[in-house]
Amino acid sequence: MKTGLHQSTQLRQELKINPRLYQAMDLLYMPLLDLQQHLKQELETNPFLELVEPEEDEEEETAETEPAAEEPKEEEHKDEIDWEEILLEGFDAGGRREEHEEKEYYEPVTAATRDLSDHLLDQIALLDLSPREAALAEEFVGNVNDEGYLVCPVAEIVDGINSEVSKAAEVAGHDGGEDLPLYTIPEGEAMLARIQDLEPPGVGARDLRECLLLQLRQAGLDQSVPYRLVRDCFDELINHRWSEISKRFGISQTDVQQAADEIAKLDPKPGLIYSTASDNYITPDLVVDKIDGQYHVFLNDANLPRLKLSRAYQEIARDKKKFDGENKEFISNKLNSANWMIQAIEQRRQTMLKVMNYIVDRQRDFFEKGVQYLKPLTLREVAEVINMHESTVSRVTNEKFVQTPRGVLPLKYFFSSGLSTTGGEDVSARGIKAQIQKLVEEEDPKRPLTDQAIVNILKDGGVQIARRTVAKYRDQLGVLSARMRKRV
C-alpha cells in the first residue's frame, strides 16, 4: 500500500431527507394537544400565517358581493407600516393574534397538593414530642416513600441523623457550646413504632408482611386467624397452600380461605391514597359515530387553529424591489414555510381520515358485537390499502386516540396479531384474550379451568392455539394459574 494523501473521483448515490420532510413526519406523530401548541408557535414566529376566524369568513363573503370600501385600504396601509417596523425591530404576530391570545382557554390546575409526607408531619406536630424526638421523627418521614414503606433500615436512618448531630456539635464546640448527645438504635426503633401508629394504617412498614400486620393490629384483629396467618405462615399464604395451613393450625380449609379473603381486603400500598399524581385527561383525535346505521369518521379538530396566508403580507412580499439581501431571503423563506405548513396540516388530516376509515371498515364486527370479534390487523395491511408507507401509518396511529361507541381507545388497540381457525379465517389475539378472560370469570371456583382445558374449549370453537400461548395470554391479563384460583 502506498502511504500519503490521494485525490480520486467516484460516483455514488445518497438519500438525503429534506428538513421539511422531517417536520411533516413530526406533524403526523403529534397528538392533538401537541399539534395545537405547535401551530400556536408557528403563528407567533411566521408573519405570513393568520388565523381563520368566523368573522373573517363572513367579511370575505361580503367582499365578493360588494365593492371594496376605503377602510380595508387603510388597514392594508397600517399593515405596511407595521411590516416596516417588524423588519427593523423583529417579527411579531400582529394585533389579531393578540386578540386570539386573550380568548385562549387555559385549563384550571391545582395550585398546590399535599402528599403523604405532609399528612405525616401534620400528625407528628400533634404528638407530645421533644425537639430532639421531633427531629428524629422528621428524619423517618423523609425516608417513607409514596407507597408508605420505609425505604432505609433503622440503623442507616440513625447514622444519617447522627452525622448531622456531629456536625452541629462541632459548630457548637467552636462557639463554646456543649456536645449534643447522639441517637441510639433503641431510640430509632421506638420512634419507628410511633410512626407506624399514624394514619394511614400500615404506613412505615418495612415490607408487605409488616404492612398487613400493622393494618390488622390497628383494626383490633391482632388475636384473629388472619393475623396469625400473616405472622406465622406468610409464604404458604401467598402461595395458596390451604391444606398445609389447615393442618398446621387445625382449622378447615374453608376457614383458611375466609381468613385469606379478609387479608386480601387490606391495602398493600397504603400511602397511595395521598398520592399527588395528577389525572391525565385524553383528548381524542378522531370521533367515530353511528348515524343511520352507518359509521362515520370525523376529526376532532374544532379547537385546532385554522391557518391561512395573510393577504396583507402577501401583497408586501410581491414588491420585490422594496427588499433585498437578508430581508428578501427571510420573506421568501417565511412565505414558503407558511404555504408548506398549510399543505402539511391538510395532508395530515386526509391521512388520518384514510387510516381510520379503513380501520372502521375492517373492524365493523368489533363496533357491532364487541372485542371478541376484533380481527387481526397490521400496519402493513393498512399501508398497502391507502397507498402509503408503513412508517407513515405507524406515525399516524402512535399516541392517537379515537372516541367510539365502544369507548375512547388508542388507535394501536385495533392492531394485533392473528391466530388461525379451522374455518380458514383468522381471529385477533386481543379477541382471544377477551375470550380467555370471559372463560375465567364464568368458571366454577371449585374447579377452575386449567390452561389445557382452555385450549380444548377454544379448539371446540374453531381456534387453533397452543397451551403455552394460553399461559402467556393469561399472564398478560394478570390471571393466576388454576391452582392459585381454586376455592374449596
Q: Tell me if 429 is assigned to some domain.
A: yes
Q: Tell me if 426 is assigned to some domain.
A: yes
Residue 444 and residue 422: Cα distance in Å, rounded? 28
pLDDT score at 374? 85
Q: Tell me if 420 is assigned to some domain.
A: yes
- Residue 442 is part of which domain span? 416-488
CA distances to 206, 431, 460, 462 from 465, rounded to whole Å, are 43, 13, 11, 10
Q: Tell me if 344 is assigned to some domain.
A: no
Nearest to 400 by CA among 9, 91, 32, 75: 32
Q: Do 467 and 449 contact (CB within 8 A), yes or no?
A: no
pLDDT score at 322? 65
CA distances to 130, 131, 156, 187, 277 from 169, rounded to whole Å, are 18, 16, 20, 19, 40
CA angle 285, 286, 288 (to 5 degrees): 155
- Tell me whether strands 418-420 and 426-428 are parallel, antiparallel or unpaired: antiparallel
pLDDT score at 222? 87
Residue 324 and residue 51: Cα distance in Å, rounded? 28
CA atoms within 13 A on the CB side of 2: 4
Q: Do 297 and 286 contact (CB within 8 A), yes or no?
A: yes
Cβ contacts of 335 within 8 Å, gap of 6 or more = 48, 309, 313, 314, 317
pLDDT score at 137? 92
Q: Tell me if 423 is assigned to some domain.
A: yes
**Count of domains in the chain?**
1
pLDDT score at 179? 60
Q: Do 48 and 338 contact (CB within 8 A), yes or no?
A: yes
Q: Tell me if 103 is assigned to some domain.
A: no
Nearest to 330 by CA among 317, 344, 347: 317
The one-digit pLDDT tens for each residue of the chain (488 residues) are 567 787 878 887 765 555 666 666 777 777 777 887 888 888 787 777 777 765 554 555 455 445 444 444 444 444 433 434 433 344 333 433 343 344 444 555 555 677 889 999 999 999 888 988 999 999 999 999 999 999 999 999 999 898 888 887 777 664 544 566 888 999 999 999 999 999 999 999 999 999 999 999 999 998 999 999 999 999 998 888 888 999 988 889 889 999 999 999 999 999 988 876 556 678 888 999 999 889 999 988 777 777 777 777 777 777 666 666 677 777 777 777 788 888 888 888 888 899 999 999 999 988 988 888 888 888 888 888 888 888 888 888 888 899 999 889 998 888 887 776 666 566 778 888 888 888 988 888 888 889 899 988 888 888 888 889 889 888 988 888 888 888 87
pLDDT score at 94? 40
CA atoms within 13 A on the CB side of 420: 4
What CATH number does the domain containing 470 carry? 1.10.10.60
Q: Tell me if 21 is assigned to some domain.
A: no
Q: Tell me if 425 is assigned to some domain.
A: yes
Residue 206 and residue 140: Cα distance in Å, rounded? 12
pLDDT score at 22? 61
